[in-house]
Amino acid sequence: MKAAIILALCLAIAHCLVDVEELGEEFVEKAKHLHDVCVAQTQVPNSVINLYKAGIFPVQNNLLKKYLTCLWLESKGANRNLEFNDEVIKNFFPASIAAHLVPIYVGCAKLVKQSAPMSTPIDDKFYLISNCIYFKDPENWVFF
């Protein structure tokens, strides 16, 4: 369950499993903006992001965890209380998969919110959420 919706989105889109054509130009622009903002804030190397896009989850990489948190918060897909905005999340996906993916995102957030100790750092919680999303449906993994 690691990041989030934000999202879990895809910037170096070549590594995503969802068809880029289906995502559209607006998505690519939003994803690029979020990616650029969050890379600037966290200084996470693109090589680490690319590993994550490919389904390789570096557990001890705090910069990646901060990047994931940034994506969720900057996109307004979630807040620090792990409350997810279904409409924002839905707008990051093509209609063909949104109805399927939004419940997965919300379900993973609820799972982490209920099971992670209160003292768990927010970056770790968003990391767990993002990983959960990936493992629930790796075929439709979207991350940028």
| pLDDT value for 21 | 58
Asked whether residue 31 is assigned to any structural domain, the reply reads yes
Q: What percentage of the chain exceeds 70 in pLDDT?
A: 83
Mean pLDDT, the chain, rounded, equals 82
Distances, alpha carbon 4 to alpha carbons 25, 62, 119, in Å: 21, 15, 19
| pLDDT value for 90 | 85
pLDDT category of residue 23 using cuts at 50, 70 and 90: low
Asked whether residue 129 is assigned to any structural domain, the reply reads yes
Q: What share of the chain is helix, strand, coil (3-state, %, to 5)?
A: 65, 0, 35
Asked whether residue 108 is assigned to any structural domain, the reply reads yes
Asked whether residue 4 is assigned to any structural domain, the reply reads no
For the chain, the domain total comes to 1
For 26-74, write each residue's pLDDT tens digit.
777 888 899 999 999 999 999 999 988 888 887 789 999 999 999 999 9
Task: Write the CATH number for 99.
Answer: 1.10.238.20
Domain that holds residue 49: 13-140
| pLDDT value for 9 | 37
Q: Please compute the mean of the pLDDT values over residues 108-123 and round it to a whole number.
A: 95
Asked whether residue 136 is assigned to any structural domain, the reply reads yes
Asked whether residue 7 is assigned to any structural domain, the reply reads no
pTM: 0.80
Asked whether residue 2 is assigned to any structural domain, the reply reads no
| pLDDT value for 142 | 76
Asked whether residue 18 is assigned to any structural domain, the reply reads yes
For 77-94, the DSSP string reads SB-TT--B-HHHHHTTS-
